């Protein structure tokens, strides 16, 4: 109650100060308005008196006077609202600072109260414990004072491997979020009353904040402190952030928690950007659980709801699972992963054995939480946020997948000019055709060939889907896993685009993953051939129809149709190609399962021509073939 009163007083002071400033601005501008008006009127009357009494001239003067009055009013209104805006901004900054200071003080008072009570309780309990018995049985004491920041000895994976382990506590958080509590004491008691460990306590608070989509909450205007919403008025007024709220709730639950300030690679950030001044500033938390300081970022844990497109449709059931989606990556994130997106102003809060510099942070590859969730890593050392091409304009980004994800991860990419979001083509050719994506083993590679010198943005997307889901043709949601700035400083050679095949990865891996089609003759995406070529696959399950189309820059697809044939014998399918001339070709192969529904997959972007039969088939793979007499 004491804390509540302190907070009420603080908000009353804020409101009073806002009113005072408002009144001050009003009266300042009122005075100025009267002075200026007087000056204009005086000038007008003087001119009127000296004019030669002609009616026209008087009219002109009157019109001009009216116009000047109007301009003055417009100008002053604009200036007043600008001044008001800047003062409001300054006041809000000040209010945030004061609120954070109050929460700081109240949090430590609360923690002291709790530890005093805890030691009282421990003493009264110890009367009943036999001394010898109590030796190994005493639980590890939660530290009385906040320990100094140090790297955690145990990684997140060793604490829990799957969020499903928190199913019960998560359910508590979701149900508590359905109603409004009158006091923080009630709220925290409902959240952590049934928790058995400090990790579970931190978890329910984290999940409560991510479920209670605080930004979209409806607030009544009479926010007295004792109405349920008054509890979260700080969020409403913008004086309290998620991080301050998380810290406050942690202290009521007896957990040490700090708010950390620094830079983050957040909205609007592109690889290659430098961090200076106040842009990209952010805050997050570290909470002391499981014997170490660990990161929590509630804002990003809840940020699935930021994309309006994905916000739940109105009118769907209250327990609609989408509403409770959240990003588990931002709960107890390991420091070596967290540093990719967040850089604290105080080095010791990196919680790393070897802290990095701000320059190093700028140059870390720009990866998103999904990158870690899928267990990806870069196959080569030393990738920076910016990748430079060689003098032929080529650069390669290689990503390794964990073995258990190989069969279900599908990648995708986009290439744009770095400085212009709209420009997706060069000389009328889509920039996508200057990137060759291929999968060999557990490595997915993106080989970029810059069509001209300059800077490009390579965005790499991924999605985990089973072949079954892929083949049923549900449009897929790809999400970004990492982004690179590709710099081509000068270009010695002219780059030709890849042949215009179906989009996506090159090479037979896709055929094996989707259709169990195993390459016998050619395992690599790129083939060097003579004037003709035989390609063979073994079917590990029956497939009915096959079709192959040939593509070459500058030649119509129809004209190339007669140069490709195929035949099947038992479980072997053979494609025979006779090339009409030397050069680079793309070969698309299509098929379908026995008894598969006959429809076309739009998301595979596979119909470059609309020959009737192709619509019944699904693209299964493509090869890049360089044909020359010499081979």
Secondary structure in 3-state letters for 590-602: EEEECCCCCCCCH
* 0.85 surpassed by pTM: no
Instruction: Encode pLDDT of 382-440 as tens digits.
Output: 788 999 998 888 999 999 999 888 878 889 999 999 887 677 788 888 899 999 999 88
In the predicted model, residues of the chain with pLDDT beneath 70 are 52-53, 126-140, 213-230, 303-324, 421, 472-475, 595-615, 630-631
Helices (H) and strands (E) in the chain, counts: 16, 24
**For residue 308, what pLDDT is reported?**
33
CA–CA separation, 444 vs 481, rounded Å?
Answer: 13
CA torsion 400-404-410-415 (nearest 10°) is -20
The dihedral through the CA atoms of 499, 500, 501, 503 has a sign that is positive
Q: What pLDDT sits at residue 215?
A: 54
What distance lies between CA 51 and its chain's CA centroid? Answer: 69
Q: How many CB atoms lie under 10 A from the CB of residue 294?
A: 25
For residue 222, the model assigns a pLDDT of: 52
Cβ neighbours, 10 Å, residue 332:
24
Instruction: Give pairs for 138-143: CB < 8 Å, separation 24+.
Output: 140/291, 142/118, 142/198, 142/254, 143/256, 143/288
Model pLDDT, residue 299: 82
* Parallel/antiparallel/unpaired status of strands 543-551 and 526-529: unpaired
Residue pLDDT, tens place only, 369-393: 999 999 999 988 778 899 999 888 8
- Per the rule left: phi > 0, alpha: psi between -120 and 50, beta: everything else, 519 is beta
- Give the model's pLDDT for residue 256: 95
Residues paired with residue 593 on neighbouring β-strands, in sequence order: 543
pLDDT at position 600: 46
- Lookup: tokens for 427: 């000389």
**Nearest one of 11, 27, 4 to 91, comparing CA atoms:** 11
Cα dihedral angle (261, 264, 267, 268), rounded to 10 degrees?
A: 120
Q: Are 617 and 581 a contacting pair, CB within 8 Å?
A: no
Strands in 532-539's sheet, in edge-to-edge order, are 517-519, 532-539, 572-578, 564-569
Which domains, and CATH codes, for the chain?
1-120 (no CATH), 142-305+324-357 (3.10.620), 365-498 (2.60.40.10), 502-597+613-630 (2.60.40.10)
Q: Are 236 and 188 in contact (CB under 8 A)?
A: no
């Amino acid at each position: 109650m004491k804390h509540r009163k302190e907070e009420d007083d603080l908000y009353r002071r804020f409101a009073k100060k806002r009113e005072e400033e408002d009144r001050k601005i009003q009266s300042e501008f009122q005075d100025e308005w009267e002075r200026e008006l007087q000056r204009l009127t005086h000038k007008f009357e003087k001119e009127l008196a000296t004019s030669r009494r002609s009616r026209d001239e008087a009219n002109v003067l009157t019109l001009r006077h009216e116009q000047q009055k109007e301009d003055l009013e417009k100008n002053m209104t604009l200036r007043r609202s600008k001044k008001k805006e800047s003062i409001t901004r300054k006041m809000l900054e000040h209010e945030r600072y004061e609120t954070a200071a109050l929460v700081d003080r109240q949090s430590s008072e609360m923690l002291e109260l709790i530890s005093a009570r805890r030691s009282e309780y421990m003493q009264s309990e110890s009367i009943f414990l036999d001394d010898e018995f109590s030796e190994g049985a005493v639980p590890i004491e939660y530290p009385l004072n906040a320990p100094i920041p140090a790297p955690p000895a145990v990684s997140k994976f060793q604490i829990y491997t799957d969020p499903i382990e928190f199913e019960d506590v998560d359910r508590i958080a979701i149900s508590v979020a359905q109603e409004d509590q009158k006091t923080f004491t009630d709220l925290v008691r409902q959240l952590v009353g049934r928790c058995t460990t400090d990790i579970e306590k931190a978890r329910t608070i984290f999940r409560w904040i991510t479920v209670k989509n605080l930004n979209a909450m409806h607030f009544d205007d009479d926010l007295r402190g004792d109405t349920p919403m008054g509890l979260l008025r700080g969020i409403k007024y913008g004086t309290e952030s998620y991080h301050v709220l998380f810290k406050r709730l942690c202290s009521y639950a007896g957990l040490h928690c700090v708010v950390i300030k620094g830079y983050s690679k957040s909205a609007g950030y592109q690889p290659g950007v430098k961090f200076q001044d106040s842009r990209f500033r952010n805050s997050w938390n570290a909470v002391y659980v499981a014997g170490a300081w660990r990161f929590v970022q509630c804002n990003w844990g809840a940020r699935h709801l930021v994309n309006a497109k994905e916000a739940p449709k109105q009118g769907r059931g209250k327990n609609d699972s989408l509403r409770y989606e959240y990003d588990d990556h931002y709960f107890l994130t390991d420091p070596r992963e967290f540093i990719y997106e967040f850089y604290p102003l105080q080095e010791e809060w990196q919680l790393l054995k070897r802290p990095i510099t701000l320059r190093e942070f700028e140059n870390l590859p720009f990866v998103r939480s999904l990158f870690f969730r899928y267990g990806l890593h870069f196959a080569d050392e030393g990738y920076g946020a910016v990748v430079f091409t060689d003098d032929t304009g080529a650069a390669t980004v290689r990503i390794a997948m964990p073995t258990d994800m190989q069969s279900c991860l599908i990648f995708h990419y986009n290439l744009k000019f770095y400085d212009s979001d709209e420009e997706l083509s060069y000389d009328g050719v889509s920039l996508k055709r200057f990137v060759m994506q291929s999968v060999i083993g557990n490595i997915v590679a993106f080989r970029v060939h810059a069509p001209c010198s300059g800077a490009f943005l390579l965005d790499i997307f991924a999605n985990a889907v089973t072949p079954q889901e892929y083949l049923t043709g549900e449009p897929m949601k790809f999400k970004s896993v990492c982004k690179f700035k590709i710099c081509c400083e000068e270009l010695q050679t002219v780059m030709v685009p890849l042949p215009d095949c179906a989009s996506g990865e090159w090479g037979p891996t896709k055929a094996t993953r989707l259709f169990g089609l195993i390459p016998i003759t050619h395992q690599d995406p790129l083939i060097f051939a003579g004037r003709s070529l035989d390609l063979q696959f073994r079917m590990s399950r029956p497939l009915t129809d096959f079709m192959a189309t040939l593509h070459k820059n500058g030649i119509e697809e129809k004209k190339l149709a007669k140069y490709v044939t195929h035949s099947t014998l038992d479980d072997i399918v053979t494609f025979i190609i006779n090339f009409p001339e030397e050069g680079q070709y793309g070969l698309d192969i299509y098929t379908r399962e026995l008894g598969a529904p006959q429809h076309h997959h739009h998301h595979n972007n596979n119909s470059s021509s609309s020959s009737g039969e192709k619509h019944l088939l699904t693209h299964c793979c493509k090869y890049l073939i360089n044909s020359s007499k010499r081979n």
